Amino acid sequence: MAFALRVLVAVILVLFSWSAHSLSRDEFPSDFVFGASTSAYQVEGAANEDGRKPSIWDTFSHAGNANIYKGDGDVSCDGYHKYKEDVQLMANMGLDAYRFSISWSRLIPDGKGAINPKGLEYYNNLINELTSHGIQPHVTLHHWDLPQTLEDEYEGWISRKIVYDFTAYADVCFREFGDRVKYWTTVNEVNVFATFGYGFGTVPPQRCSPFSLANCSRGNSSTEPYLAAHHMLLAHASVARLYNKKYKGVQHGFIGLNVLTIGFVPLTNTSGDIIATQRAQDFWIRWVINPLTLGDYPDIMKKNVGSRLPSFTKEESNLIRNSIDFLGINFYNTFSVNNYPESLDMEDRTFMQDMAAEMTMLPENDTFIDAVLDTFKNDYGNLPIYIHENGFKTPHNSSLNDFSRIKYLHKYIGSIAKAIRNGSNLKGYFVWSFLDVFEILSGYEESLGLYYIDFKDPNLKRQPKLSAKWYSNFLKNKSVDPKIVMEIESDASLL
């Protein structure tokens, strides 16, 4: 039986390597980067070590993750101590780049003021380890883990004070790491952090109105998502101005911002659903992209949200417009959209009710990303884009032979190759995630990693999934070898 299973696995592997439109790295430009991603709270662990103080994500997890799942990032993958091992795995795999985030409260524990020497040492060591192996560090400054001290002091992102403190924090990062880091992303998924953190209350800092999805103790779902996003955009623009004035001439780096992009398709061909789909794009995507490219929010948002939507002064508009050297996008799903104009008659409307549309997730294997990329190419001057996150989730303790993930990655990488042939200005692609990490929507129950970690194992051993070997072979322009399964079984440290 075991032999028959191995033969079957080998046959499936051959099918996956089928060169079916012969997916090859040679289809991509020579300067295109392939990598993998994580974020600080999700991978580092060592939450209470060496001077680090809590972030809003620590607080959220220790309070029960809005009663959605269990667990926290106190230990997670212990990347803080195992970074050398992890970087070696990246190098062996053949990654060009690694996208990670800096824990603001590890580097500057109170969010402002004194720098933590141990935090500074850790990030210097990590960056040096990456560059010594020829791996580009792509750094995100804020991946949903604002220092809790700033949340306590002035309610974090809903206060304009955050712009000054975030800029000062970025200044430290540029000064200390910018000689080796050339790619900086200011904020991860501005649109999702604002809506889910301040509207639905299902992610940090768990702020929402009583009528929203989570049991929040504070917040206003009608106003705070718009206010938080507004301040993120202002903070990003302030940081971009700082970098361009003080550092770019010497360091020659690039500043970007990240959004979650979604594929939208009308539920029916009725004019109502078609217009609602356009409206959903305005609320989810153009809410962030329009200020960065045009200097202002979409007209439909101004109309539906009214005075609850903050406005930019002329000076702010000029500062924000064209403040990105690249756009980082995360892509996972496509949704069908149907018109729901009745929601505009409700009082105390939420973000979704302002949008006046209902959304239903379509199967995960849908590759609508090519349409999303066409939109950016046609509507925004074909600005440079890095796909910062794209991946496939499975139950955490499922098989190391993750054929579904291989099929997913093959399909999406094929889609972006096609998009480049069609003129999209794509610069890089990062798989989420390098390791099984503490996931924001499911804790340790589901995983998207290329490497499996048994979180009950005190050594947190990294075990390559079949997708890790597949990705490595793709990066090295090797065909998938049917012996892969037996190699993994005989030597789990092969990679």
CA distances from 338 to 271, 356, 371 (A): 10, 9, 19
Q: Is 358 a catalytic residue?
A: no
Around Cβ 161, how many Cβ atoms within 10 Å?
16
Cα separation, 121 vs 116, in Å, equals: 9
Contacts of 458 (CB under 8 A, 6+ apart): none
Token pair listed for 160: 């304009």
Q: Which residues contact 286 (CB under 8 A, 6 or more apart)?
A: 297, 298
User: Which one of 189, 224, 316, 439 is the catalytic residue?
Assistant: 189
Cis before 433? omega within 30: yes
Instruction: Tell me the three state secondary structure of residue 216.
Output: coil
From the candidates 151, 316, 389, 439, which is the catalytic residue? 389
Handedness of CA 308, 313, 314, 318 (dihedral sign): negative
DSSP-derived 3-state class of residue 382: coil
Query: Rounded distance, CA 68 to CA 62, Å?
Result: 12
Q: 373-382: which pairs have CB atoms within 8 A and are 24 or more residues apart?
A: 373/416, 373/419, 373/424, 373/426, 374/419, 374/422, 374/424, 375/281, 375/285, 376/289, 376/327, 376/329, 376/424, 377/422, 377/423, 377/424, 377/425, 380/289, 380/293, 381/293, 382/423, 382/424, 382/425
Which residues, in sequence order, are bridge partners of residue 265? 336
3-state secondary structure of 384: coil
**151: annotated active-site residue:** no
Distance from C-alpha of 336 to C-alpha of 360, rounded to nearest angstrom = 5
- Residue-level length of the chain: 495
**Residue 315: what residue type?**
E
Can you tell me the distance from the alpha carbon of 225 to that of 345, in angstroms, rounded to the nearest whole number? 20
DSSP string, 319-365: HHTT--SEEEEEEEEEEEEEE-GGGGGSSS--HHHHHTEEEEEPPTT
**Where does residue 390 rank: exposed (0-12), middle (13-18), buried (19+ CB within 10 A)?**
buried
Q: Which residues partner with 426 through β-bridges?
A: 385
Give me the active site residues, please.
Answer: 189, 389
